[in-house]
Structure 1
């Protein structure tokens, strides 16, 4: 039986998996990210294909602004040095003889939650991944809202939350990502001279005034961001994933209470079902659903 391969490319590791139609991983390999990235990726995939010749197609989820039609990396930050400008689809299809599809990693995570996870059964979905940065994926009647002339559609992390605020990796100031990510929480903890990790922040908010202030700012900013997204997309459900969502039981009630005064309509908010598996599952769905 033909199989699809999912590949999730991050700044520190790459995950490669064969994903079954029901979402099970029948093969799962994790390797460190090495540079230069493209020749290393090709070598690794050719090795997997030699052991699994039944693989017919490869889906790639990666950091960066992606042209999903051409499978081309329009722009990637220094998280992946030298990745900007790489024609991943063309090069890999030539090297492997398989069909290849490429998209942004947050879009892949959204696909996984829509197909198998917290957003299953919904057709208009916004997913936020609050990790090292802030990623976003939007599905509209089952189709990803992606691409655009500059590969920047659905780049939720680079919408402006606080004009003139903290400088972002994109070069502008005040982006969502600089207030709603693990990196943003680390910065705020450092500025407050607290000796805690982001994971400990929301527990410490019960007894520490500075931690409580940071928690309050975070939940306020998240409520504002969600209400803005609702005005733009009128989604049925919003899914929150990424590492920061692990602590959601400690802050979700506070955030939803603040959202009540900002939302246009009641909104179903759910925590993502998948953690680190979301990217590789969704990457495989790029070729499962489009084939």
Structure 2
């Protein structure tokens, strides 16, 4: 079975034809354009003409998703007009093929549990540290998602510091505002340090101001992981997303901060699939079922 995996982001859409072994047979990126749905349909139909052997379509997307009906319940202004879109219904009608839709962080967690860093584990929490903080929960081998508002496993919007930094969700102090690329840039600006996040991590070994910021970041990430352990008692926590690309500079500090906070020993691993997680996880929405 060949599946078209689609990963929808705020700046680009990645599409890959993937077989049952998880091999990417075709891979393409196009810039995200608005209005999003008609553009998505146009791109999918174009790929299907190039690859008529594709039997089904899996889509991972930013936002709160109703996975049963394949509907976008809520998306921020990262994807204007995407809220309310009946993706599954419209795309199945347009293509005549089965379509499954999920939150992108859930897709990333699925592929890491089935094929990647947590392969073979039944309870996995994956954190994607990018511009924001995405979270995916694998519970007894299946994605924990949905809910009446599509908000299950939106760990980025759990509160870390009540009354803290304003979040895009309209509340204050969410995990996302401290453990993400956005959170790092805010910390840097508030400290008056003239460094990018990548530079911050590299200079932490020799620059006291940088070291302090990295210590605060890793401590907050440790608190996030230990809090999620109390809720889900996962076998493995997987850390992915763009911020994890610099993990060689802060991983040991994270583990040191985390160990005294844990209720039980916990395996913590870096994500294996990186930027490929989106399309692979989207394809697994279909392949795994």
Normalised to the residue count of structure 1, the TM-score between the two structures is 0.98
Q: In 2, distance between residues paired with 1:260 and 1:42?
A: 47
Distance 2:168 2:195 in 1: 25
Residue 182 of structure 1 corresponds to 181
User: Which secondary structure state, in structure 2, belongs to the residue aligned with residue 277 of structure 1?
Assistant: helix
**Between 28-37 and 203-212, the greater mean CA deviation after superposition:** 203-212
CA distance in 2, matches of 1:168, 1:224: 18
Structure 2: gaps (5+ residues): none
| Superposed displacement of residue 54, structure 1 | 1.3
Q: Secondary structure at the match of 2:275?
A: coil
Q: Does 1:77 align with 2:76?
A: yes
Give the SS at the match of 1:170.
Answer: coil
Structure 2 matches for 1:276-291, cutoff 5 A?
Answer: 276-290=275-289
Structure 1 residue 142, shift from structure 2 partner: 0.6
Q: How does 1:241-252 map to 2 (within 5 A)?
A: 241-252=240-251
Q: Distance in 1 between matches of 2:88 and 2:282?
A: 13
Aligned to 1:68: 67
Other structure's SS at 1:281 match? helix
Equivalent residue, structure 2, for 1:220: 219
* Alignment match, 1:165: 164
TM-score by length of 2: 0.98
1:192 aligns with 191
Q: Please give the per-residue CA displacement for 1:202-252, whole angstroms capped at 9, x wherever unaligned.
A: 111112222111101101101111110000011000000001111111111
Q: Which residue matches 1:140?
A: 139
Residue 232 (structure 2) aligns with: 233
Runs of 4 or more above 4 Å deviation: none
Q: Which moved more, 1:141-150 or 1:195-204?
A: 195-204
Distance in 2 (alpha carbons) for counterparts of 1:259 and 1:189: 23
Q: Distance in 2 between matches of 1:203 and 1:48?
A: 41
Cα deviation for residue 100 of structure 1 reads 0.3
- 2:107 counterpart residue number: 108
Distance in 2 (alpha carbons) for counterparts of 1:53 and 1:258: 51
SS at match of 2:274: coil
CA distance in 1, matches of 2:203, 2:51: 49
Structure 1: gaps (5+ residues) = none
Give distance in 2, aligned partners of 1:28 and 1:205.
37
Q: Distance in 2 between matches of 1:57 and 1:130?
A: 29
CA distance in 2, matches of 1:221, 1:18: 38
The CA distance in 2 between the partners of 1:164 and 1:210, in whole Å, is 25
Query: 1:147, CA displacement in angstroms?
Result: 0.3
**Does 2:208 match 1:209?**
yes
With 199-208 and 222-231 compared, the bigger mean Cα shift is at 199-208
Match of 1:92 in 2: 91
Deviations 1:82-104 (A, max 9, x none): 10110000000000000000000
Partners of 2:36 and 2:259 lie apart in 1 by 45
Matched with 2:262 is: 263
Within the alignment, does 1:37 sit opposite 2:44 as a pair?
A: no
- Counterpart of 1:261 in 2: which secondary structure? helix
